[in-house]
């Protein structure tokens, strides 16, 4: 595409793609291949030395995946992106160039349960650690940073409660202490929120969710803003210092705004191998083409369902940020001007047992460990996605034992309300 500025609806269809030069195929082909033939020996050497951009081996780069990387980076307003096999893989990929044994990351208490487990348990095996802080308490965020901190991590719209983070305020803290801010934008998507415009350094997504939108594949992506000075502090030697595997090449000095992206491919995917397969990339590209249409419907439905639930006497409270009663309502216009998303929780009177009865009584809602589908989904986070956490951690994350999490789909909202109505009647009888 030319340098002309295009709208979101155009970019979600065209960014990164062009008719296939070999066949004229209009849709991006699935390049189902392991390897690529080099033009000659010099061409192969240039690729392996990072002197030329191209395709070597599909663990590193693939034409279908490359289109997806460019499209997501464009929609997020980033310089580049690296796709990988899942959202969890994307989080490790984002931290990998920044961390080292003994280093830590300051993270939000309001995170997806699997991320909490990853940050409290799994990263210890790399010698890393995480400090959990309420991102609404900016003084606490700054106080948690020490000489060994290498990043700050939060979610734009937090899973499961749908709480909205004041990204600009957190980014200001990150700038003050000279650290990159990593934002998981899965629940918002770039249609509702573009964290880079609020000061984020890196943006991660589970492609599995709203970007694909149909529950068919897993995938992840890390988007690089291209704005962080990786050489300023000496804290990020993987990006600023000579890399032995590439004859002393310095990623930041050589690739500038694309330093993180090139490192993610040339070292992250090379050595960790968390590759996104081309068929999954193809499904996600097709999903993104309707992202704006789906997100508008998701938001409309979520608002209507949340308003109905808030008025129902069988419900104690609803956490949807799009409700005027929410403490995060004023942030919607600032952080997510197109809407508060479609993910939230609500508390059922009767507690834990009523939550279980509710889930077992629903007919349209699907009881699955996923979100961001065209279908409406429900889960009891405390007994599933956040099961590994103790009750204090569950409540800090918004996964209280008496609440269920819903991901509102794009069905007829009156049908969703009727389904909840009959299920609540059985659950609270």
Nearest-angstrom CA–CA distance, 325 and 318? 9
CATH class of 291-427: alpha beta
Q: Return the CA Rg of the chain.
A: 22
Q: Do the strands 104-108 and 343-348 form a parallel or antiparallel pair, or are they unpaired?
A: unpaired
How many other C-beta atoms can be found within 10 angstroms of the C-beta atom of residue 126?
A: 14
**pLDDT at 160 (0 to 100):** 87
Q: Which backbone phi and psi does 305 adopt, to 5 degrees?
A: -65, -45
Nearest-angstrom CA–CA distance, 142 and 133? 10
Closest C-alpha among 9, 341, 395, 396 to residue 184: 341
In contact, 398 and 289? CB cutoff 8 Å: no
In contact, 207 and 277? CB cutoff 8 Å: no
Report the C-alpha dihedral over residues 323, 326, 332, 335, rounded to 10 degrees: -150
Helix, strand, coil % in the chain, rounded to nearest 5: 40, 15, 45
Closest C-alpha among 182, 250, 259 to residue 226: 259
Q: Please tell me whether residue 153 adopts helix, strand or coil conformation.
A: strand
**pLDDT at 12 (0 to 100):** 97
**pLDDT at 390 (0 to 100):** 73
CATH class of 8-98+180-287: alpha beta
Q: Do the strands 181-184 and 202-206 form a parallel or antiparallel pair, or are they unpaired?
A: parallel
Closest C-alpha among 375, 377, 312, 380 to residue 349: 312
**pLDDT at 374 (0 to 100):** 97
Q: Which residue has the tokens 């009584």?
A: 361
Burial class, 72, CB count within 10 angstroms (exposed 0-12 / middle 13-18 / buried 19+): buried
Q: Which backbone phi and psi does 296 adopt, to 5 degrees?
A: -60, -45
In contact, 396 and 124? CB cutoff 8 Å: no
Q: Which two tokens stand for residue 269?
A: 């995917």
In contact, 265 and 82? CB cutoff 8 Å: yes
How many other C-beta atoms can be found within 10 angstroms of the C-beta atom of residue 204?
A: 29
Residues 6 or more apart from 297 whose CB is under 8 A from it?
Answer: 410
Along the chain (429 residues), what's the average pLDDT of each consecutive run of 10 residues?
82 94 92 96 94 95 97 98 98 98 97 91 97 97 98 96 96 98 98 98 98 96 98 97 95 98 97 97 98 98 98 97 96 97 95 92 95 95 73 73 93 98 95
Sign of CA dihedral 386, 388, 394, 400: positive
- The structural domains of the chain, with segments of one domain joined by +, span 8-98+180-287, 291-427
Nearest-angstrom CA–CA distance, 224 and 260? 7
Sign of CA dihedral 142, 145, 147, 151: negative
pTM: 0.95
Q: How far apart, in Å, are the Cα atoms of 94 and each of 62, 151, 179, 202, 288?
A: 20, 10, 13, 7, 22
In contact, 98 and 68? CB cutoff 8 Å: no
**pLDDT at 382 (0 to 100):** 78
In contact, 239 and 252? CB cutoff 8 Å: yes
In 185-292, the DSSP E strands lie at 202-206, 220-224
Which uninterrupted H or E stretch holds 334?
Answer: helix 329-335
**pLDDT at 2 (0 to 100):** 58
**pLDDT at 200 (0 to 100):** 98
Q: Return the bridge partners of 149, or none.
A: 104
**pLDDT at 404 (0 to 100):** 94
Q: Return the bridge partners of 182, or none.
A: 153, 202
**pLDDT at 287 (0 to 100):** 98
Q: Which two tokens stand for residue 367?
A: 């009881």
């Amino acid at each position: 595409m030319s340098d002309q500025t295009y709208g979101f609806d155009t970019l979600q269809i065209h960014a990164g793609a062009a008719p296939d030069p070999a066949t004229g195929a209009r849709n991006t082909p699935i390049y189902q291949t392991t390897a690529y033939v080099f033009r000659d020996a010099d061409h192969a050497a240039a690729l392996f030395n990072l002197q030329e951009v191209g395709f070597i081996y599909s663990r590193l780069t693939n034409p279908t995946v490359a289109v997806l990387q460019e499209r997501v980076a464009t929609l997020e307003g980033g310089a580049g992106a690296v796709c990988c096999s899942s959202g969890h893989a994307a989080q490790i990929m984002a931290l990998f160039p920044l961390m080292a044994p003994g280093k830590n990351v300051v993270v939000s208490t309001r995170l997806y349960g699997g991320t909490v487990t990853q940050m409290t348990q799994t990263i210890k095996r790399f010698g890393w650690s995480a400090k959990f802080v309420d991102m609404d308490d900016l003084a606490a965020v700054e106080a948690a940073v020490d000489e060994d901190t290498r990043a700050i991590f939060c979610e734009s719209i937090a899973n499961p409660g749908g709480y909205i983070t004041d990204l600009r305020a957190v980014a200001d803290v990150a700038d003050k202490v000279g650290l990159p801010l990593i934002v998981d934008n899965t629940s918002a998507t770039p249609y509702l929120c573009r964290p880079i415009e609020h000061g984020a350094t890196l943006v991660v997504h589970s492609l599995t969710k709203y970007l694909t939108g149909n529950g068919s594949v897993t995938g992840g992506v890390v988007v690089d803003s291209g704005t962080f000075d990786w050489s300023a502090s000496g804290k990020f030697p993987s990006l600023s210092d000579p890399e032995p595997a590439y004859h002393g090449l310095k990623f930041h000095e050589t690739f500038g705004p694309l330093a993180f992206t090139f490192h993610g491919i040339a070292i992250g995917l090379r050595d960790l191998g968390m590759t996104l397969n081309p068929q999954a990339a193809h499904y996600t590209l097709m999903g993104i083409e309707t992202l704006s249409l789906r997100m508008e419907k998701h938001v409309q439905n979520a608002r209507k369902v949340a308003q109905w639930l808030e008025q129902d006497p069988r419900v104690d409270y609803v956490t949807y940020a799009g409700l005027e009663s929410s403490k995060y309502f004023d942030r919607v216009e600032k952080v997510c001007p197109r809407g508060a998303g479609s993910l939230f929780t609500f508390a059922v009177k009767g507690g834990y047992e009523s939550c279980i009865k509710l889930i077992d009584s629903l007919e349209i809602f699907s009881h699955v460990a996923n979100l961001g589908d065209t279908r409406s989904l429900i889960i009891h986070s405390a007994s599933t996605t956040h099961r590994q956490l103790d009750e204090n951690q569950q409540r800090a994350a918004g996964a209280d034992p008496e609440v269920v999490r819903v991901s509102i789909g794009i069905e007829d909202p009156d049908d969703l309300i009727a389904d909840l109505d009959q299920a609540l009647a059985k659950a609270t009888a």
